[in-house]
């Protein structure tokens, strides 16, 4: 891995870090929000779901802009808006107000992740992209492992608003850091300068791109829906501590990081499609195992069973995360910015819908969560043979 490629990983990581903190730093506050904001558990979950929803919409907007305008400027202004929205969230006094502000925060946060796939795709060939994606994924994965610990500490000392003040400071620091970094320029547009609608329509018609990216999004959603529900299930429903959730998440993230860093070498030896398929099988096994525990051994439910049944889910995403991204982007043609935005829209949109569907049923336990995860993993696995079937003009999205 050359020094130039490693340096590219830094701005891509910084672009996504603020938006990731908006979820992971905030998770330890979910169990206490109903009391401090005079709301309920469903409302607390909706502060997560609405963030993902507007975050998903922003992917399409910023993905289209990335093919036309200066990406550094887009990132700077979006981070500034994110900083303002985060400060406003810290001052929210009701659950409804926080839900509204989280919607604004989610849209502002979306630029970093919308532009990340385009920046990565332009780094080199598939082998380079897989390795670079794995590096960035590993850097990003430190945040879900460490952010809840930091969030719990901030909440214990300064209250839940401190998590949003911290997000504000991180966004401002990232803006300053961008001034010293050089981002790849957007590629020259097509001669006919197609509109955003035309670019997205071309991508939607690209069977292989859509097959890989939807399967990738479903795989991502399966783990995200679980992570969003776990704080409530473990702390409020099952009576365990926030520390138990943090240890569980750190274990899953560490497993993901280790496997993600092996993905590049595995694709060189076994082929990219085989590695993606192996990851999908691991995730299917995980979903079925979790459902089996929920249905047949409810007395086993707790931090240990959650961790053991979800390990294959995290490992599977590590296997297929970087390769799945690289494979999808290989079939997007010239529209790298729009393709990246569409991929993130699909993943975050599904996460928003999945989180919102599961939220009302968490008071009754983990059955709805487990059933949703099995469905997501099954559809993801079924889509892969469709995506892997070659066709003429694969590169012409």
Q: Is the pTM of this model over 0.75?
A: no
What domains lie within the chain, and their CATH numbers? 7-180+192-386 (1.20.1250.20)
Of the candidates 140, 370, 138, the one whose C-alpha atom is nearest the C-alpha of residue 233 is: 370
Instruction: Give the whole-angstrom CA distance, residue 184 versus residue 340.
Output: 15
pLDDT in tens, the chain (397 residues): 455 555 555 656 666 777 778 888 888 888 888 888 888 888 888 888 888 889 888 877 887 777 677 777 787 888 899 999 999 999 998 999 999 999 999 999 888 777 765 565 555 555 555 555 555 665 566 676 677 888 888 998 899 999 999 999 888 887 876 666 555 555 555 555 667 677 778 888 888 888 998 998 998 898 888 988 888 888 888 888 888 888 888 888 888 878 887 887 888 888 888 999 999 999 999 999 999 999 999 888 889 999 999 999 999 998 888 788 778 877 877 666 677 778 878 887 888 788 888 888 888 888 999 999 999 999 999 999 988 888 765 544 4
Residue 357 has φ and ψ, to the nearest 5°, of -65, -40
- Predicted confidence at residue 49, as pLDDT, reads 82
From residue 226, alpha-carbon distances to 207, 302, 346, 387 in Å are 29, 13, 18, 26
Query: Following DSSP, what letter does each residue of 147-212 receive, concatenated?
Result: HHHHHHHHHHHH-THHHHHHHHHHHHHHHHHHTT--PPPPPPPPTT---HHHHHHHHHH-HHHHHH
- Predicted confidence at residue 356, as pLDDT, reads 81
What's the distance, CA 209 to chain centroid? 19
- Predicted confidence at residue 287, as pLDDT, reads 94
Instruction: Give the whole-angstrom CA distance, residue 272 versus residue 269.
Output: 9
From residue 173, alpha-carbon distances to 26, 139, 341 in Å are 19, 17, 24
C-alpha angle 83-89-92 in degrees, rounded to nearest 5: 150
Query: In sequence order, which residues have a C-beta less than 8 Å from that of residue 390 and are 6 or more positions away?
Result: 208
Each as own residue / partner, the long-range contacts of residues 26-29 (CB below 8 Å, 24 or more positions apart, any chain) are 26/151, 26/163, 26/164, 27/147, 27/148, 27/151, 27/227, 27/228, 27/231, 27/245, 28/148, 28/151, 28/152, 28/155, 28/231, 28/242, 28/245, 28/246, 29/151, 29/155, 29/160, 29/163
Instruction: Give the whole-angstrom CA distance, residue 43 versus residue 32.
Output: 12
Locus of tokens 């439910």:
301
Query: In sequence order, which residues have a C-beta less than 8 Å from that of residue 201 and are 6 or more positions away?
Result: none
- Predicted confidence at residue 53, as pLDDT, reads 84
Half-sphere exposure of 161 (CA within 13 A, CB side): 14
Residue pair 291/369 in contact by the 8 Å Cβ criterion: no
Query: In sequence order, which residues have a C-beta less than 8 Å from that of residue 82 and are 6 or more positions away?
Result: 18, 19, 22, 105, 108, 109, 167, 171
* 312: three-class secondary structure by DSSP: helix
- Predicted confidence at residue 342, as pLDDT, reads 81
Of the candidates 300, 171, 147, 163, the one whose C-alpha atom is nearest the C-alpha of residue 227 is: 147
């Amino acid at each position: 891995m050359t020094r130039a490629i490693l340096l590219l990983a830094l701005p891509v990581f910084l672009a996504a870090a603020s938006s990731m903190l908006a979820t992971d730093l905030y998770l330890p506050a979910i169990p206490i929000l109903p009391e401090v904001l005079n709301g309920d558990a469903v409302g607390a979950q909706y502060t997560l779901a609405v963030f993902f929803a507007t975050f998903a919409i922003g992917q399409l907007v910023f993905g289209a802009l990335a093919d036309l305008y200066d990406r550094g400027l887009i990132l700077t202004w979006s981070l500034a808006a994110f900083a303002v929205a985060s400060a406003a969230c810290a001052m929210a006094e009701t659950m409804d107000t926080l839900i509204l502000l989280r919607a604004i925060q989610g849209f502002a946060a979306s630029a970093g992740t919308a532009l990340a796939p385009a920046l990565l795709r332009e780094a080199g060939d598939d082998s380079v992209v897989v390795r670079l994606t794995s590096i960035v994924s590993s850097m990003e994965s430190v945040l879900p492992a460490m952010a809840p610990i930091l969030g719990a500490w901030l909440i214990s000392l300064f209250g839940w608003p401190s998590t949003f003040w911290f997000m504000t400071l991180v966004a401002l620091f990232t803006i300053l850091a961008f001034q010293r970094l050089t981002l790849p320029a957007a590629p020259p547009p097509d001669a006919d300068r197609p509109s955003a609608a035309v670019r997205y329509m071309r991508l939607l018609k690209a069977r292989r791109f859509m097959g890989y990216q939807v399967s990738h999004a479903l795989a991502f959603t399966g783990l995200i829906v679980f992570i969003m529900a776990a704080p409530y299930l473990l702390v409020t429903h099952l009576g365990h501590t926030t520390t138990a959730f943090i240890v569980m998440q750190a274990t899953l993230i560490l497993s993901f990081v280790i496997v993600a860093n092996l993905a590049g070498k595995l694709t060189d030896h076994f082929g990219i499609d085989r590695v993606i398929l192996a990851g999908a099988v691991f995730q299917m096994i995980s979903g079925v195992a979790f459902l089996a525990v929920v249905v047949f051994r409810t007395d086993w439910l707790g931090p240990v069973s959650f961790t053991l049944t979800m390990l294959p889910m995290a490992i599977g995403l590590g296997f297929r995360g970087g390769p799945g991204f690289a494979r999808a982007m290989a079939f997007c043609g010239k529209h790298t910015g729009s393709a990246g935005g569409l991929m993130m829209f699909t993943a975050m949109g599904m996460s928003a819908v999945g989180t919102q569907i599961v939220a009302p049923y968490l008071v009754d336990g983990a059955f709805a969560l487990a059933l949703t995860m099995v469905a997501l993993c099954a559809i993801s696995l079924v889509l892969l043979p469709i995506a892997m079937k070659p066709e003429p003009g694969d590169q012409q999205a």
